[in-house]
Structure 1
Amino acid sequence: MEKDDALNALAALGQETRLDVFRLLVKAGKEGMSAGAISDALYVRPNTLSTHLSALSRAGLVQAERDGRSIHYSAELATMQHLVTYLLQDCCGGNPDLCAPIANLFSSSSCSETKGF
């Protein structure tokens, strides 16, 4: 990931509603959610949500797929993985033991078992 891409992703997530949307989509897993379901779950007006989804999409954090008359959104976890890797690539001054607690979070089987990732 390039620095500009990381800045765009962080800027997109640096807004409360967009962070809530991304976290909701992560919880939804691979199936994602329709825009209407996201709007209902977060109590966000559809036109406002559309703006936030567009920002997340431009940053590569969500992907959209048309499903008939609605649009279905899911979290783009590969982008988040690249962002976290970019942020931690020089972690702990070359001492990987210091980064073990962070690495263990991502190797935890609980995420893959519960969400199908």
Structure 2
Amino acid sequence: MDINEAIGAFSGLAQESRLKVFRLLVQVGADGMAAGDIAKAVGVPKNTLSSHLAILARANLVQARKEGRSMIYAVDLEGTRSLLSFLMEDCCQGDPSVCGPLIETTLATCCSD
């Protein structure tokens, strides 16, 4: 991930409803959640949620799949991994003996498939 992609991801999360949606989808996991259920859980109108989900999708933080008549949204694991790696890649002055295990542990626990 380059700095412009990271800025896009942070921009996607830099709004209360979008951050709530992202955190909800992290909790739900890979199965995801229908858009209507997300709207109810977060307390936003469906049309507003649609805009928020589009922003998160462009930031590679969520992805959608169609199931019947519903759109199911889930965390984009690769995008989330990339953002976490970007945040952590220079920790401890880039010392791989410290940062490597920290990055791997964080990504394995947080974003396993």
TM-score range, shorter chain: 0.7 to 0.9
**Kindly tell me: are residues 104 and 5 of structure 1, through their superposed partners in 2, closer, same or farther at Cα, counting changes over 3 Å?**
closer
RMSD: 2.3
Alpha-carbon distance, 1:75 to partner: 0.4
Local SS of the residue matching 1:30: coil
Report if the CA contact (8 A) 2:84-2:107 is conserved: no
Matched, 1:89 2:50: no
2:13 matched to 1:13?
A: yes
Amino acid at match of 1:80: T
Where structure 2 has 5 or more consecutive residues not aligned to the other structure, the ranges are none
Distance 1:48 1:97, change over 3 A: same
75-84 or 18-27: which moved more?
75-84
Identity of aligned residues (%): 44
The aligned amino acid for 1:62 is V
Q: Distance in 2 between matches of 1:101 and 1:16?
A: 31
Cα distance, 1:4 vs structure 2: 1.2
- Partner AA of 2:87 in structure 1: L
Task: Please give the alpha-carbon distance, in whole angstroms, between the structure 1 residues aligned to 2:27 and 2:71.
Answer: 18
Matched, 1:2 2:2: yes
Could you tell me whether the CA contact under 8 Å between 2:88 and 2:103 is conserved in 1?
A: no
Q: How does 1:18-97 map to 2 (within 5 A)?
A: 18-96=18-96
Distance 2:65 2:34 in 1: 9
State the shift of 1:66 in Å: 1.2
Output one character per residue of 1:41-77: Cα deviation in whole Å (capped at 9) or x when no partner: 1111101100100000111111111112211100012
* Equivalent-residue separation in structure 1 for 2:55 and 2:76 (angstroms): 13
Return structure 1 stretches of 4+ with deviation > 3 angstroms: 94-105
Structure 1: which 5+ residue stretches go unaligned? none
Contact 2:56 2:62 in 1 (8 A): yes
